[in-house]
Amino acid sequence: MERRNFIKNVAGGAVLAGLGGYAAPSVAATGTAFSSASNSAKFTLKYAPTLGMFNGHAGKDPIDNLKFIADQGFRAAYDLGMIGRPPAEQEKIANEARRLGLELGQFSLKTAGGTHFVLNDASVRDMLKEKMLAGLEVQKRTGIRKGLVVLGNADSKLHVEYQTANVIENLRICCDIVGNAGLELVMEPLNTLVNHPGVFLTRTTQAKLICVAVNHPCCKMVNDLYHQQITEGNLIPNLEACWDYIGSIHTGDNPGRNEPGSGEINYKNIFRYLFNRKYSEVISLEHGQSIPGKEGEMAIIKAYREVDPS
């Protein structure tokens, strides 16, 4: 599933299977009532549902989604599409998240699609500068500390070493723009076998090499466990090998890109490793649901309860 379709599907729909004894909250025209259905024991790790993951229970309003997310014991939330929301709505979401004690995770700087980071091209650098400046405006309004970058497609007419050198130079320019403001750039390796054929960045080894070469404190990488299970496996050793450069972790089981327990990844062991490593950053729930409707949404919550370390 391409990122743009994934975001659309998650934002427009709901997620998974039931929690025993759970009475689903009702959504009224004037707001959402959750008090009678609270499951407010806080999760140990900072799992972040996307706004829209629980539309079946909370409706489509992002504020009601934040309330539902907090009410279920989550400590964070995120919205990849934050940069596309009106400024006033960005501020409203950020203010409500603060009120609820939720940390807002990364937003996308919309660098996906096409061939760009791998090129030595003035017009590409102008485009990237514009996106970085737009990201800084979102940071000012919301306080979000991380911006997601996707390095785009490879160029088959350029040796991979030249492409890598161009990526490093382009990222240095981006880091110089956002670094003083404290916005951390997290670049995401993607899989080519199922979702993103043709992309340049696919492996954690690549991402670490680039981070070391850029040599800027705001240049970090995403470890998306779904993508990396497809591309390279060996998930916990690769987390350990890249630990100092991991700025963000995404979840999703494989196959299917749904909640933990729906596929082959042993999330219980992975989250125990993160807990023992004292990982305190947001963990973005970048996946769908294996069961439709409200029942599926409750199954997502149940799945994370079952694998959350204590």
Residues classed as catalytic: 188, 286
What φ, ψ does residue 184 adopt, rounded to 5°? -90, 135
Q: Are 293 and 14 in contact (CB under 8 A)?
A: yes
Structure tokens at 198: 């043709």
- The end-to-end CA distance of the chain, in Å, is 33
CA-based radius of gyration for the chain: 19
Coil, strand or helix at 110:
coil
Give the CA distances from residue 260 to residues 47, 182, 189, 210, 300, in Å, rounded to whole numbers and listed in that order. 12, 32, 20, 30, 8
Within the chain, strands assigned E span: 27-28, 31-32, 47-48, 76-77, 103-104, 107-108, 146-149, 184-187, 219-224, 246-251, 283-285
Which two tokens mark 3? 């990122």
Going by their DSSP bridges, the two strands 146-149 and 184-187 should be labelled as: parallel
Q: Specify whether the CB–CB gap between 177 and 133 falls below 8 A.
A: yes
Taking the C-alpha atoms of residue 156 and residue 164, their distance in angstroms, rounded to an integer, is 13
